[in-house]
Amino acid sequence: MKKYFEKIFGGGQEEFQKVLSKHLEEEKRLFVVTANPETLMTGQENSEFDRLLMDEETCIVPDGIGTVKAAHMLGYDVAERVTGVEISQFLLKEAVRQGKTVFLLGAKEEVVSALAGKLAAKYPNLGILGYENGYVKDKDVVFDRIAELRPDVVLVALGIPQQELLIYRHLRQFEKGIFVGVGGSFDVLSG
Ligand code: UDP
């Protein structure tokens, strides 16, 4: 468990936004895992999940007060939580500012389509390359399709651990892109 805390981003939301902006601008690949205590437990129980958490391209951010408190108890300096909703909101706004493209995968069809519609209305210049609900049978096929589109931001809302395992299986098919498992964020943002 301690090895995950060694890697956790402790700089807080604003500092993390700078990391995201820079990666987006430089078209560098980045995998973000928003970690609650359950996420870190999954790493202890599942060797593939452990591998993805420890990968040098993976950035773990503390999603939830439980992770922040646990970090403090272990003596790590973690400023505040950084949630999937906050990351999603920032990346969408930043994608507009930088003229970048996004793909949305996950949640129910009515949720993800409502979110795509809402974003298109709010940000007419946002490059939404496409979206897909999270209940299609073969999500690996969907990811192959996403890879062909070469998006700059891929938000995956399938819940833990499905979203992280799926991203990690396909990450190296992409030359660039910020990939984030955002859990229930589409449900929040579409409303
Ligand atoms: N979901 C999905 N496909 C699935 C299972 C879940 O798209 O096979 C979606 C679900 O509709 C919800 C999100 O994944 O939008 C999971 O949200 P939850 O709050 O459970 O995830 P957490 O944030 O706790 O990881």
pTM above 0.90, yes or no: yes
Taking only the tens place, the pLDDT of each residue in 23-73 is 999 999 999 999 999 999 999 999 999 999 999 999 999 999 999 999 999
| 174 domain-assigned | yes
Q: Which domain holds residue 162?
A: 13-56+83-190
Q: How far is the CA of 165 from the centre of ligand 1 (A)?
A: 14
Taking only the tens place, the pLDDT of each residue in 14-25 is 999 999 999 999
Taking only the tens place, the pLDDT of each residue in 86-128 is 999 999 999 999 999 999 999 999 999 999 999 999 999 999 9
Q: How far is the CA of 106 from the centre of ligand 1 (A)?
A: 7
| 124 domain-assigned | yes
| 35 domain-assigned | yes
Q: How far is the CA of 34 from the centre of ligand 1 (A)?
A: 14
Beta strands 58-62 and 101-106 are: unpaired
| 150 domain-assigned | yes
| 76 domain-assigned | no
Give me the number of domains the chain comprises.
1
Quickly state the pLDDT bin for 1 (edges 50, 70, 90).
Answer: confident
Best residue among 187, 189, 190 to mutate for probing ligand 1, ranked by most atoms within 8 Å of CB: 187
Q: How far is the CA of 176 from the centre of ligand 1 (A)?
A: 25
| 163 domain-assigned | yes
| 75 domain-assigned | no
- Give the SS3 label for residue 158: coil
| 43 domain-assigned | yes
Q: What CATH number is associated with residue 170?
A: 3.40.50
Ligand 1 interacting residues, C-beta cut-off 6 A: 106-108, 134-135, 157-160, 183-184, 186-187
Query: In angstroms, rounded to a whole number, what is the distance separating the alpha carbons of residues 71 and 127?
Result: 37
ipTM of the complex: 0.95
